[in-house]
Amino acid sequence: MSDLHTRVARLNDVLCTVNALQWDARVMMPPGGAETRGHQIATLKGLAREMILDPGMEDAAQTVLHTAADDVTRRAAQAVLEARDHHARIPADLLRRQAEKSAVAGAAWAEARAKGDFALFRPHLEEIVGLARQEAEALGHDGHPYDPMAQVFEPGETAASLSTFFETLRAGLKPILDTALGKPKPRTDFLYRDYPVEAQQAFCRDTAESLGYDTTRGRLDTAVHPFEISFTRQDVRITSRWNPGYLPMSIFGTIHETGHALYEMGVDPAFTRTAHATDMIGLYAVGGTSFGMHESQSRLLENHVGRSPAFWARHFSRLRDTFPEQLGDVSEDEFVAAVNRVEPGLIRVEADELTYDLHIMLRVRIEMALMDGSLSVDDVPEAWNAAMREDLGLEVPHDGLGCLQDVHWSHGYIGSFPTYTIGNATAAQLMAHLDSARPDVRTALDHGETGPLRETLHDLVWRHGRSRSRADILRSVGQEPNDVGDYLTYLRGKFGG
């Protein structure tokens, strides 16, 4: 085992421990533990930074870079050197303050969201934005202060590239959305009946397992905001949210997080505790190559598979057996139509496929404006509500259903929201490739079988971990990153327009 491998393995152990503390903070920790947890995470992230900046780490990486016999090993060494350059620019005190603020702000956000009161979260967001601006200044940029923030989550993207991407997509979405909104509305009353939480949990756990989620290496828990997190590929956990008065939330939230989990579980075992399973710039223990590629796997499973008629031809009888009183008067076709309806709503995680990206665009515009100072934190609720009114024709009744609905800003994840739409576009590109190159995958999906899809995605995406970029993977199948053509074709085929 090389010196570099040993050093990165220890670094990965530290970051997996950070993940364990973060999972606990979001799932189990009592509210009073937030401040102490912030100190704990800050200490560990500071230690991780010191490990990256240790001169011995650079020496080990340079040795591997110049002696490795294969590209995969050289790319691991290059990733270490890029991380060293990144962290050398960021003061240690800034990293500490960001980690401490994340834990405290997360607890404040949860309270503010529950009470629908932005004022409770405002001072925390003010500090988070200030810290993000300091980070952007420390990292440097030639264009917009949003650039270095976005690149932490999706390397290569900038405010300019993202603006072009979203403008092109928005123009293509409009006629499809107009067509869909002009169609008769399906019946949806049964989605809002009383669905006991324990029964939802049992159904969702079985559904995740049917999609390939290995519960000997993972578990399903409850969180205010659903997420997936891994402590190496051998322990990959997912959470969902249970609304007794609205069934789709838990089902599609679970399928979404299962997509993330399958990616992490599918990373080549040889990459465990290596640079190809460690985001050394963002300081995350994660095997997926970028947030956008990660979202492509979850959105592919959630939408292309989980909302398909073929999926429910296999699973609806089990759902009706779980809720015989609630779904006794509902046909399979009615259920499929209801969960694929197009209906503008306030909540991103409940949004249909056509309006979902408008929710993302709203958030990205606000993030960019916060970073360049053209929008103050005080004005976030007003800007949010105005955008919801303009884009979706909706009035926001209170901040809990508006600018407080997402956990991301409380964790300091400014720059992460574009990756959701990047994921949507990438998922469609991958499925278009499979339809052309592997028609057997589509045939299997049409019969409700997801095994061939998992095998193909494992070979094309999952096993590579961080050893290949999103661009590398897409170009290997003749696609270019952020091309929205296949995504719009998919949406037109499903919704018209």
Q: What is d(CA 153, CA 418) in angstroms, rounded to the nearest whole number?
A: 9
Q: Say if residue 209 is in the same domain as residue 291.
A: yes
Predicted TM-score (pTM) of this structure: 0.95
Task: Out of 89, 116, 131, pick the residue that ends a domain.
Answer: 89
Q: For position 309, what pLDDT does the model report? A: 97
**What is residue 355's predicted lDDT score, i.e. its pLDDT?**
98
Nearest to 26 by CA among 36, 16, 37: 37
Report the distance separating Cα 151 and Cα 156, nearest Å. 6
| Interaxial angle between packed helices 439-446 and 451-460, expressed in degrees from 0 to 180 and rounded to the nearest 10 | 150
* Contact criterion met (CB below 8 Å) for 11 and 276: no
Q: What is the dihedral of CA 60, 65, 69, 75, to 10 degrees?
A: 110
Q: Is 229 left (phi over 0), alpha (psi -120 to 50) or beta?
A: beta
Q: Is 260 inside a domain boundary? A: yes
- The residue-averaged pLDDT of 319-348 equals 97
Q: What's the rounded mean pLDDT across residues 303-326?
A: 98
Q: Indicate the residue type of 13.
A: D
Distance separating alpha carbons of residues 283 and 281, to the nearest angstrom: 5
| Alpha carbons 360 and 348: distance in angstroms, whole number | 8
Judge whether 127 counts as a catalytic residue: no
Together in a domain, 75 and 198: no
DSSP-derived 3-state class of residue 154: coil
* Same domain, residue pair 85 and 163: no
Q: What is the predicted pLDDT for the residue at 360?
A: 98
118 domain-assigned: no
CB atoms near residue 347 (< 10 Å): 13
pLDDT at 1: 66
Task: Please write the tens of the pLDDT for every residue from 200-212.
Answer: 999 999 999 999 9
Q: Are residues 166 and 83 in the same domain?
A: no
Of 224-228, 305-309, 430-434, the range with the lowest mean pLDDT is 224-228
List, in sequence order, every residue forming a beta bridge with 220; answer none if it has no partner. 238
Question: What whole-number distance in Å separates Cα of residue 92 and Cα of residue 88?
Answer: 9
Task: Kindly state whether residues 187 and 74 are assigned to the same domain.
Answer: no
Please compute the mean of the pLDDT values over residues 437-456 and round it to a whole number.
Answer: 97
What number is the average pLDDT over the span 348-369? 96
Look at residues 39, 63, 89 and tell me which one is the last residue of a structural domain.
Answer: 89
In terms of Cβ atoms closer than 10 Å to its own Cβ (0-12, 13-18, 19+), residue 362 is buried
Q: Is residue 140 part of a domain?
A: no
Render pLDDT for 118-141 as a digit per residue (tens, 0 to 9): 999 999 999 999 999 999 999 999
Strand locations in 286-331, DSSP E?
none
Strand order through the sheet with 220-222: 220-222, 236-240, 228-230
Q: How far apart, in whole angstroms, are the C-alpha atoms of residue 303 and residue 251?
A: 12
Measuring CA to CA, how many Å separate 30 from each of 16, 26, 33, 389? Answer: 21, 9, 6, 37
219 three-class SS: coil
Domain total in the chain? 2
Same domain for 46 and 170, yes or no, is no
Q: Do 188 and 81 share a structural domain? A: no
Q: How confident is the model at residue 324 (pLDDT cuts 50, 70, 90)?
A: very high
Q: Does residue 119 fall inside a structural domain?
A: no
- Are 108 and 124 in contact by the 8 Å Cβ rule? The answer is yes
- Boundary residue ending a domain (89, 121, 146): 89
pLDDT at 255 over 80: yes
Report pLDDT digits (tens) over 167-194. Answer: 999 999 999 999 999 999 999 999 999 9
Mean pLDDT throughout 359-381? 98
Task: Examine the pLDDT at 244 and tell me if it is beyond 80.
Answer: yes
Within this chain, do residues 288 and 164 fall inside the same structural domain, yes or no? yes
Task: Kindly provide the residue ranges of all beta strands, DSSP E only, lying in 157-279, ordered along the sequence.
Answer: 220-222, 228-230, 236-240
Q: What is the DSSP letter of 185?
A: P
Q: Identify the H or E element spanning 19.
A: helix 3-27
Active-site entry in 135, 257, 264, 302:
257
pLDDT band at residue 480 using 50, 70 and 90 as cut-offs: very high
The reply to whether 218 falls in a domain is yes
pLDDT for residue 225: 84
| Domain ranges, residue 335 | 159-496
Query: According to the model, what pLDDT value does residue 103 have?
Result: 82
Question: What letter does residue 155 receive in the DSSP assignment?
Answer: T
Feature table: binding site for Zn(2+): 256, 260, 295
Sign of CA dihedral 316, 318, 319, 323: positive
Q: Are residues 51 and 190 in the same domain?
A: no
User: Per-residue DSSP letters for 31-64?
Assistant: GGGHHHHHHHHHHHHHHHHHHHH-HHHHHHHHHH
Q: How far apart are CA 370 and CA 377, in angstroms?
A: 7
Q: Is 342 exposed, middle or buried (0-12, 13-18, 19+ CB in 10 A)?
A: buried
- Same domain, yes or no: 173 and 255: yes
- Average of pLDDT values for 211-224? 96
Whether residue 109 contacts residue 405, with contact meaning beta carbons closer than 8 Å, is answered with no
Percent of the residues in the chain that have a pLDDT greater than 70, as a whole number: 100
186 shares a domain with 63: no
What pLDDT score does 224 carry? Answer: 86
Q: How confident is the model at residue 349 (pLDDT cuts 50, 70, 90)?
A: confident
Of 341, 343, 377, which is closest to residue 358 (Cα–Cα)?
343
- 39 Cβ contact list (under 8 Å, min separation 6): 100
Distance from C-alpha of 83 to C-alpha of 3, rounded to nearest angstrom: 17
Query: Is residue 204 a part of any domain in this protein?
Result: yes
**Which pair of structure tokens corresponds to residue 291?**
């947030």
Asked if residue 446 lies in contact with residue 424, where contact means CB atoms within 8 angstroms, the answer is no
Is 426:292 a contact under the CB 8 Å cutoff? yes
- Whole-number Å distance between alpha carbons of 362 and 344: 14
- Residue 122 resides in a domain: no
Q: How confident is the model at residue 288 (pLDDT cuts 50, 70, 90)?
A: very high
**Amino acid making up residue 384:** W
Q: Would you say residue 408 has pLDDT above 90?
A: yes
pLDDT tens for 270-281 read 999 999 999 999
Q: What 3-state class would DSSP assign to 490? A: helix
Task: Tell me the pLDDT band of 82, cut-offs 50, 70 and 90.
Answer: very high
Position 224 in a domain: yes
Claim to verify: residue 404 and residue 483 sit in the same structural domain: yes
Decide the pairing of beta strands 228-230 and 236-240. antiparallel
Q: Is residue 34 a contact partner of residue 106, using CB atoms and an 8 Å limit? A: yes
CATH of the domain at 430: 1.10.1370.30
What's residue 81's pLDDT?
Answer: 97
Where would I find the H helices in 216-286?
Answer: 248-265
Is a pLDDT exceeding 70 seen at residue 260? yes
The per-residue pLDDT for range 37-59, each reduced to its tens digit, is 989 999 999 999 999 999 999 99
Q: Looking at residue 187, what is its pLDDT?
A: 97
C-alpha torsion 407→394→189→400, nearest 10: 30
Mean confidence (pLDDT) of the chain: 96
